[in-house]
Structure 1
Amino acid sequence: MDNSSRYAKLTEFGKKLLSKPSLNDGLVLISQTARDLLDADRCSIYIYDENKNELWTTFADGINRIRIKADEGLAGYTLKEKKPIISNDPYNDVRFLKEIDHKTGYVTRSIATCPVFSSSRKIIGVLQLLNKKGGFTTDDSKFMIFFSHYISSYLELASMFADENE
């Protein structure tokens, strides 16, 4: 998908996100849009719990909630480095958590992650996309940065809501 098509679809996404009546509906929309815009098979949205020093998914395609230590996996590495990561050969990447694939039966062939920052520039989560045909590119990474800025206030709200209900 070319950049002009991506940004046109992003504008439509923004209108839909503003009209969503529930937080969960918004998270589903974020995931679907990220997958569509980047031709990925799956999307996970991790929230960073600083008190527990862990990342957990508010929404992960195809599986229940995932909880990992904040320094584990590519999502944890993204949190630590505060920058996007691409791994198009994750089974040969020491940062990759193979255990999650083993538990779910899913096979990850490529992975792209991007930090999500709050309005005060604290990292609040990680956006993770899986299995793009042909692998992820640096252009995808750049777009993920833009997309994560676009959704950050929504995820900041999700993080506050989760804190109240944990």
Structure 2
Amino acid sequence: MKDDKYLKLAYFGRELLAKRSLQEGLPLISKYVKEVINADRCSIFIYEQSTKELWTTLSDGVDKIKVSADKGLVGKTINERKPLQANNAYAHPAFLRDIDKKTGYITHSIITAPIFSSSREIIGVLELLNKEGGFDDEDTKFMIFFAHYISGFIELQNTHTDTKGES
């Protein structure tokens, strides 16, 4: 089964290389990582260092989310520069309940991983929600690996396009 995961990763990588923008690539990234980890939802937050905000236009079922880089589990991921796992989201002090209220979605479990540029600057956060039975250490290891794997694509697209996420 593990070999299958990495074979799928090779096919995914080829498909991602053909994408020419964040808008084309982010849905593919989300679809792949949700399937591999068996999560219900994925958000890929892009970090705007100039405004100290994270934004995503790719958050399943939601138009757009903006979060201050010092708020929530994604903000904690930025500040601690490491992945986080909360299998009881509402019990975690950094969890932003307001987003669930706004979207009507109920988050049970959450896992995040920072996305680093080639110069080790944080350029985003990969977030998955709601895996049946919760997330585990293998999921965290894969999230770290996968965040590194997609970082070149995101960094390249950030360099060549406007990533403000403004509508």
Coarse TM-score class (shorter-chain normalised): over 0.9
Query: Quick one: which amino acid aligns to residue 70 of structure 1?
Result: A
Q: Distance in 2 between matches of 1:95 and 1:22?
A: 32
Alignment pair present for 1:143 and 2:166 = no
Q: State the number of aligned residues.
A: 165
Q: Which is worse superposed, 148-157 or 18-27?
A: 18-27
Deviation digits for residues 72-120 of structure 1 (CA, Å, limit 9, x no counterpart): 0000000000000000001111110000000000000100000000011
The answer as to whether partners of 1:109 and 1:131 remain within 8 angstroms in 2 is yes
Residue of structure 1 in register with 2:153 after alignment? 154
Query: Quick one: which amino acid aligns to residue 156 of structure 2?
Result: L
Alignment gaps of 5+ in structure 2: none
Residue of structure 2 in register with 1:96 after alignment? 95
Residue of structure 1 in register with 2:8 after alignment? 9
Give the match's secondary structure for 2:162. helix
Q: Distance in 1 between matches of 2:55 and 2:112?
A: 14
Alpha-carbon offset, residue 163 of structure 1 = 4.3
Of all paired residues, the percent bearing the same amino acid is 52
Are residues 139 and 159 of structure 1, via their aligned partners in 2, closer, same or farther at CA, if it must alter by over 3 Å? same
What TM-score do the two structures reach when normalised by structure 2? 0.93
Q: Distance in 2 between matches of 1:21 and 1:49?
A: 20
Q: Which is worse superposed, 97-106 or 156-165?
A: 156-165
Residue of structure 2 in register with 1:118 after alignment? 117
The answer as to whether partners of 1:47 and 1:159 remain within 8 angstroms in 2 is no
RMSD: 1.5
Q: Which is worse superposed, 14-23 or 77-86?
A: 14-23
Q: Distance in 2 between matches of 1:108 and 1:56?
A: 18
Give the match's secondary structure for 1:162. coil
The answer as to whether partners of 2:16 and 2:25 remain within 8 angstroms in 1 is yes
Q: Which is worse superposed, 7-16 or 125-134?
A: 7-16
Residue of structure 2 in register with 1:43 after alignment? 42
Query: Quick one: which amino acid aligns to residue 63 of structure 2?
Result: N
